Structure 1
Amino acid sequence: MKVISCASYYGTGSSAVTDYVSEFDGVFSMTNEEFRFVQDPDGIDDLEFHLVENHNRHNAGHALKRYKRLVDFYNGNIFGRKYAPFFHDRWKEISYRYIDELTDFTFKGWWMYDLYDRGGLFYFRKRIVNKVLHKTIWRDKPDRVLNTMKDEITYCSAPSEQRFVDLTKRYIEALLTEASNGADTVMVDQIVPPSNLPRYTRYFDNIKVVVVDRDPRDLYLLEKMEWKDGVIPHDDVETFVKWYRYTRSHRKRETFDPKTTLFVRFEDLLYRYDEETARMREFLGLDEADHKRPFTGLVPERSKKNTRKWLEYPEAADDVAYIERELGEYLYDYAAAGVEA
């Protein structure tokens, strides 16, 4: 199975890649839903850290419980189904099997974080019984602890790096095979991040990642004037500039592997469509003859309306000028694309 994924920095237009690739015959697209279970906190990357790289008797088992909880969250519930429909209601089944395969053995037992994870009220309610006992009938037994979680299960796991990677590869392929009914090529959104990619690509036998970025002026104005969802700082332009540099800082010290990763500008997909999509097809190994539904997903003329937003918001001219001074290296070169900025 070939896996194609896009990675971004929030709001940078990576869905354009998903939309374009979905126009090809022979590609199963999992839509623009983000499948972040590999990279998210408590996800697979965290599992490897606690099970393999920083193993100890408590953290390893706790990490498996945290991943199981993440699996349950991503499954969804009656208020909103998340991953379950994409995997024909087998997301939990396949994920629980992966957890079982990683687990060496279990036993009935608990530790402080089994209380902590359930919240402060739960923790203090459970522990107050011990306080009362030590003030009364256990006054002469200061080390005795009442077992208030007799049914709690502790997981024990210490796989080698190779075993962890092999089981993870098999797990992800099982999920994507179930979702796609065994397609040869699967397009899945955001399964890996744009940073530290060599760590994440180990979990796949064959993956191609397209990292997408866009002009910071548009990103700032879209968030400040239109999206207003609070993910990107926009109350003051100075903080936005710090955030933009911060989220891209990995590119100062990391080099993308050209075998697995392609960097594209969102604007190039719109203003240099023929050139840039040809470059992307070559990298992804897609045949132009299979491009049967052009412009049904990625429609450059429609998406261009989300560029050069400073022309719509002249009142933000001072902020735009500040971004141009501070983030000049990240600005899109409209002149090179034959467009007046």
Structure 2
Amino acid sequence: MRVITCTSYYGTGSSAVTDYVTEFETVKSLGEYEIRILHDMDGVTDLQYHLTENHNRHNSGHAIKRFKKLVDFYAGNRLASRYEPFFQNRWREISYKYINSLVDFSYRGWWQYDLLDKGEKYYYYKMMLNKFYKLTIGRNNSHVLNMLPKEITYCGHPTKEAFLEKTRNYVAELMEAANPENAPMLMVDQLVPSSEIWRYLPFFDDIKVIVVERDPRDLYILEKYQWQCRIIPTDDVETFCEWYKYTRAHRKTEVFNPEKVKLIQFKDLMYRYDETTTDLCNFLGLNENDHKFPKQHLDLSKSIENTQLWKRYDIGSNLKFIEHELAEYLYDYDTVLGGAK
């Protein structure tokens, strides 16, 4: 099974690629729901760092605990099911199996971050209880109160090779659970981030990554006037441009593995559809004869409405500022449309 994933810089249009790939009968697609356990804070790569690269008597065990907490969060509940349905309701089961494989031993114990993770007020409440105890009935004792008598501390220190093997098995088992139909390819959104992709490729037996980029002029307008999610800064255009360059800075030094990673422009799917999709098929190993539902998921007429937005929104001098500051990221209409901007 080949895993296909899209990644982006927020709002840059990776869902368009997901929609296109979903139109192939040889692809099982999980849709646009993001599966981010590998690269989120407290996810697999944080676990890798604390267990194998910077092992520490406190931090390593706590990293396992934080990972388990993230697993539980992503499992969901009755209000929000999150990951469980995508993995045949085996998300927590498979993830716990992975956690157990990384733990050498455990014991009843705690340290300050176990308290702090429960909230700053809880932390100081427990500290005051201990202080009161030491001033009263415990004043002649050398020990302190057991703040968290039921807390479990985990200890794990796998080698780098062992961690990689266990993680590959974990990822493979998750992908198999997500693909009960045994389709030749599985489409999962945002499995890896858009930066330092090389860190994540060893976790997979066979993966192809599509990085999707978008013209900063459109992104600025979409966030400022339509989405208004406050994830992208648009209060002033100077900060927007700084943020845009900040999130793409890795491309100045990071070299994508051309056999595994491909960078495309969102607008190429709109204005160079045939050429771009043929290129995608060749890269992903898709057979165009299996494209049984063309343009049923990727709505070109709708997507193209979100291009060249500066023609519909008057952003004044901000347009010129973006074009000057982010010139290297602008979509090349001169080449694609013969200068018809």
TM-score (norm 1): 0.97
SS at match of 1:276: helix
User: Which SS does the other structure have where 1:110 is aligned?
Assistant: coil
Cα distance in 2 for partners of 1:75, 1:123 equals 27
1-structure distance, mates of 2:306, 2:61 = 46
Runs of 4+ in 1 over 4 A off after TM superposition: none
Equivalenced residues, count: 339
Whole-angstrom distance in 2 between the partners of 1:299 and 1:121: 50
Is the CA contact 1:177–1:183 (under 8 Å) kept in the aligned structure 2?
Answer: no
Structure 2 match to 1:326? 325
Offset at residue 84 of structure 1 (A): 1.2
1:210 aligns with 2:210: yes
| Equivalence for 2:269 | 269
Q: Give the distance between the partners of 1:289 and 1:91, measured in 2 at CA.
A: 34
Partner residue in 1 for 2:178: 179
**Aligned 8 A contact 1:271 1:300 in 2:** no
Measured in 1, the distance between the counterparts of 2:224 and 2:129 equals 51
In structure 2, what is the equivalent of residue 40 of structure 1?
Answer: 40
Q: CA RMSD in A?
A: 1.1
CA contact (8 A) 1:26 1:184 kept: yes
CA distance in 2, matches of 1:37, 1:120: 26
Instruction: Give the % identical residues.
Output: 52
SS class of match (1:77) = coil
Match of 2:114 in 1: 114
Q: Once the 2 structures are TM-superposed, how far is the Cα of residue 70 of structure 1 from its aligned partner?
A: 0.6
- Which stretch of the first structure deviates more once superposed, 132-141 or 83-92? 132-141
Residue equivalent to 2:255: 255
For 2:316, what is the secondary structure of its paired residue? Answer: helix
- Give the Cα separation in 2 of the matches to 1:312 and 1:46: 43
Matches within 5 A, 1:236-315: 236-314=236-314
The 5-angstrom pairing of residues 1-341 of structure 1 reads 1-141=1-141, 143-181=142-180, 182-314=182-314, 316-338=315-337, 340-341=340-341
Q: Equivalents in 2 of 1:291, 1:184: separation in Å?
A: 14
- 5+ long unaligned stretches in structure 2: none
Distance 1:152 1:224 in 2: 46
Alpha-carbon shift at residue 76 of structure 1 (Å): 1.1
Q: What's the secondary structure of 2:146's corresponding residue?
A: coil
Give distance in 2, aligned partners of 1:186 and 1:317. 44
- Cα deviation digits, residues 27-60 of structure 1 (max 9, x gap): 1001000001101000001000001101111111
Equivalent AA in structure 1 for residue 177 of structure 2: E
TM-score if structure 2 supplies the norm length?
A: 0.97
Structure 1 CA distance for aligned equivalents of residues 241 and 307 of structure 2: 18
